[in-house]
Amino acid sequence: MSTASIFDFAPLLPAGLPAPAARWTGLAKYSFVGGNNDPDQVPVDGLIAAMTAVLQREGKTLATYGLASGPQGYRPLREFLTKKLKRDAGIGCTTDDVMIVSGSLQALDLVNATLLARGDTVLIEQETYQGSLSRLTRLGVKTVGIPLDDEGMRMDALAAVLADHKRRGIMPKYIYTIPTVQNPTGSILPEARRAEMIKLSQEYGVPIFEDDCYADLIWNGQRPPAIYAMSKQGGVIHIGSFSKSIAPALRVGFIVAPWEMMSRMLALKTDAGSGALEQMVLAEYCTPHFETHVPKLTRGLRAKLDTLMEALNEQFGTSAEFEDPKGGIFLWVKLPDNVDTLKLYQAALAAGVAINPGPEWSTDKSYAGSRLRLCFASPSHEQIREGVAVLADVCRKEFGVPERSANVEKRARS
């Protein structure tokens, strides 16, 4: 077929579409990007056994949309979640307060579709999940970043921004926060700050959107109660995921919300239900095994983090600054100010190392210009060490760091 006869769709595309996706070319040799987890920690044998058992027992329910459990998801999985959320997060809810969705990304989309219109304003942590930022930008929503410190969102800054918007007659649609293992900084918002956030939310009439999808991955297993649990007057939407605790490719997440919001989101969930088989298998596996699986997973992740921090210290010395995160799968790293991590991303990728450049994870592009996020869950210990060595070599060639004197100083102190 000649190129002249190929149909041209371009004139038919509506304005405002995102840029076209690039073709998939595979993972980089050393991949420190994305929410991928440790392949050796996926409980494959347990999932196989769960699938066999649940299909033998209930397989015929696959003939009915929603497995005859209704549009909010497979009831045994929602029952597991109500018990888990009560035990781990202090959330007292019923199965009617929970909706199963296709990963926390669908949860983000449903909340945004329910609450937001072009031109609206939301308050968001200055450094935050890139997927949330890109969605809000695409929707034409103004994002106002609230500065963080080593304990998460600063409540004095939040109070000042809320007061300023009230003076200007602007009502933000929500306060978006990742309070438990914040992405990308790895901090945990203390209970006192959570209480202050609830107080400010109620004072100004602005709801809280609590993204808790990393909350299972805390090194010591102890977390503050969820903001949803602490709020006695409602006004909080809570989302979570099995992507980080079991496996990201399963694409199973959940929303906990009052019926006033749940009913609206349910009307927008027009996919005839999230993947049924995944829900059945998760309910069957997690009910007896979740509490023993997660500590094993976090021990493995903590060991990989230690390897990453050791490799950064060895290769970069004092040129790489970071705080030891309290859990999760990523490390937020500050390089010298002259390093542009957007440029570093391209140079590193050409050398086989994939990183997340800081500006994509912040509302303040200049502040985050020399920062990057490194996900350590997926690569092996050997790949972590080798990948950091290659990254350091790229930094030396492209930006003149790490400086030799910094490495000498580091060794002298050790």
pLDDT in tens, 314-335: 999 999 999 999 999 999 999 9
Confidence of residue 410 (pLDDT cuts 50, 70, 90): very low
CB-CB neighbours of 99 under 10 Å: 25
In this predicted structure, the answer to whether residue 246 has a pLDDT above a threshold of 70 is yes
Domain with 376, as residue range(s), is 27-42+292-413
Q: Which of 289, 305, 321 is the last residue of a domain?
A: 289
CA dist list (Å): 284 to 88, 96, 145, 240, 293: 19, 20, 41, 19, 14
How far apart, in whole angstroms, are the C-alpha atoms of residue 298 and residue 115?
35
At 287, is the secondary structure helix, strand, or coil?
Answer: helix
What pLDDT, in 10s, does the model give residues 22-46? 898 889 999 999 889 999 999 999 9
How far apart, in whole angstroms, are the C-alpha atoms of residue 137 and residue 122?
11
User: Residue 153: beta bridge partners?
Assistant: 148
**pLDDT at site 192:** 98
Q: Is 222 found in the same domain as 338? A: no
Q: Is 233 found in the same domain as 86? A: yes
How far apart, in whole angstroms, are the C-alpha atoms of residue 32 and residue 341?
14
* Both structure tokens of 206: 């602005």
Q: Is 299 found in the same domain as 176? A: no
**Residue 105 is assigned to a structural domain of this protein:** yes
How far apart, in whole angstroms, are the C-alpha atoms of residue 166 and residue 38?
45
DSSP annotation string for 320-359: SB----SBSSEEEEE--TT--HHHHHHHHHHTTEE-EEGG
Q: Global pTM?
A: 0.93
Q: Which of 289, 318, 333 is the last residue of a domain?
A: 289
High-pLDDT (> 70) share of the chain, % = 96
In this predicted structure, the answer to whether residue 269 has a pLDDT above a threshold of 70 is yes
What pLDDT, in 10s, does the model give residues 396-408? 999 998 765 444 4
363 contact partners, CB below 8 Å, separation of at least 6: 124, 126, 128, 133, 143, 144, 145
CATH value at residue 336: 3.90.1150.10
Q: Is 299 found in the same domain as 173? A: no
In this predicted structure, the answer to whether residue 411 has a pLDDT above a threshold of 60 is no
Q: Which of 269, 289, 309 is the last residue of a domain?
A: 289
CB-CB neighbours of 21 under 10 Å: 6
201 contacts 159 by C-beta, under 8 angstroms = no
